[in-house]
């Protein structure tokens, strides 16, 4: 007998493959820049200011910045490796087919963003604010996230394989095919937001006391 197929849909991620890229210089990474087919390697900057910029088919490798301003930035077919930024302000951006691997990011303000086919791999993130964001086909693989805020977020086909989340806020979130299996989850705010989420039996055991407390249930032995 054929094994029944699962009903949770995995993210549809398009691998980013670059052709021949031209070496870019730090002076190009400025607000409202329009960049295509460039690579940036081993830069150490006080501020990575790219507000309103557009990056298409670019590769950024080994870049360290004390702060990043990515307000309303548009990223397409772009990869980031070993990006190290303690403070990132990236609200209202549009990211399509973006990969970040080995990144170390502190506070990430990415509220009201639109992400499609975005993949974080082996990243460490302290606080990620995705309030009011539109997320489609996003994965966090083998990452550590201290706090993930999805208040009022709309998310479809999201997965967290091998990832640890310290605190997850799902208040007023609208979720569909969000897969938390394989994710180490410590605490959840807004349990009503779990509608549309797939969890494992072990995670259900972890969440049961929280669900009982929120619903005012008494759990007592006979």
pLDDT band at 221 (very low <50, low <70, confident <90, very high): confident
Residue 89 pairs in a beta bridge with 69, 109
pLDDT band at 96 (very low <50, low <70, confident <90, very high): very high
Helical H runs in 59-195?
Answer: none
- Strand locations in 11-109 (E): 22-23, 34-36, 38-49, 54-56, 59-69, 74-81, 84-89, 94-101, 104-109
List all residues 6 or more positions away from 67 whose beta carbon is below 8 Å from its beta carbon: 46, 47, 48, 85, 86, 87, 88, 89
List all residues 6 or more positions away from 49 whose beta carbon is below 8 Å from its beta carbon: 29, 30, 31, 68, 69
Q: Map out the domains of the chain as residue ranges.
A: 66-214
- As a whole number of Å, the CA-based R_g of the chain is 19
Specify the pTM.
Answer: 0.91
Residue 1 has pLDDT above 60, yes or no: no
Compare 222 and 113 and report the one with higher pLDDT.
Answer: 113
Question: What does the pLDDT average to over 107-127?
Answer: 98
Average pLDDT of every residue of the chain: 92
Pair 171, 153: CB distance under 8 Å: no
């Amino acid at each position: 007998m054929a094994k029944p197929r699962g009903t949770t849909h995995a993210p549809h991620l398009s691998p980013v493959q670059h052709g021949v890229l031209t070496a870019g210089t730090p002076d190009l990474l400025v607000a409202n820049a329009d960049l295509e087919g460039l690579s940036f390697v081993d830069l150490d900057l006080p501020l990575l200011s790219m507000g309103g910029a557009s990056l298409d088919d670019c590769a950024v490798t080994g870049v360290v910045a004390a702060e990043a301003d990515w307000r309303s930035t548009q990223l397409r077919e772009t990869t980031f490796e070993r990006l190290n930024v303690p403070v990132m302000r990236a609200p209202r951006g549009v990211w399509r087919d973006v990969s970040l691997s080995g990144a170390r990011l502190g506070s990430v303000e990415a509220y009201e963003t639109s992400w499609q086919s975005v993949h974080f791999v082996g990243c460490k993130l302290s606080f990620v604010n995705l309030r009011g964001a539109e997320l489609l086909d996003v994965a966090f693989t083998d990452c550590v996230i201290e706090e993930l805020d999805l208040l009022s977020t709309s998310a479809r086909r999201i997965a967290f394989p091998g990832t640890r989340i310290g605190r997850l806020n799902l208040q007023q979130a609208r979720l569909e095919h969000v897969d938390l299996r394989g994710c180490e989850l410590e605490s959840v705010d807004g349990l009503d937001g779990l509608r549309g989420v797939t969890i494992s039996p072990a995670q259900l055991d972890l969440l049961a006391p929280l669900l009982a407390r929120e619903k005012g249930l008494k759990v007592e032995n006979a």
